[in-house]
Amino acid sequence: MAQSPPEVSRTLSIGHRLGEARARRLAAGRSEQQYGCVKLKLDLHDIYNRGDEIERALRAIIDEAIAKKAPLVEIIPGKGSGQLKKRVLRFLDRKEIKAIYHRVEKDSDNFGRVFVHFRWK
């Protein structure tokens, strides 16, 4: 029985770095969606041992970021042994994928999380 790909959750924040500005906007009654601050999130915990599904999920989240012009994608490979994170970083290092995004940030606070930043014109 084939399992469905992991659900890609969408949150309306671009991370903890904008905490104060976000709080001011929300206090003023304005939503973050008005500012185009959409962050896509992919949690790979459920498919950590299925290589083909990992590839599809990574490609799908990149394609969704392109379609929605999301400035940030959060990929959660989890902590574990680090093999899944290495696989994610190898995927992001491919020439055709690297041409799409602006930069990759390894979360210094959480080893099991990678941020992919995009710049849209």
Looking at the structure of the chain, the number of domains it has is: 1
Classify each residue of 11-39 as buried b or exposed e, where b means 16 or more C-beta atoms within 10 Å of its C-beta.
eeebbeeeeeebeebeeeeeebeeeebbb
Q: Does residue 78 form part of some domain?
A: yes
Residue 60 lies in a domain: yes
Rounded to whole angstroms, the Cα distance separating 73 from 61 reads 8
Is 91:109 a contact under the CB 8 Å cutoff?
no
Predicted TM-score (pTM) of the model is 0.69
The one-digit pLDDT tens for each residue of the chain (121 residues) are: 444 444 444 443 333 334 444 444 444 444 344 445 678 999 999 888 888 899 999 999 999 999 999 999 999 999 888 899 999 999 999 999 999 999 999 988 889 999 999 998 8
List the CATH number of the domain containing 113: 3.30.1370.110
Give the range of the structural domain holding residue 39, as residue numbers without chain letter: 8-117
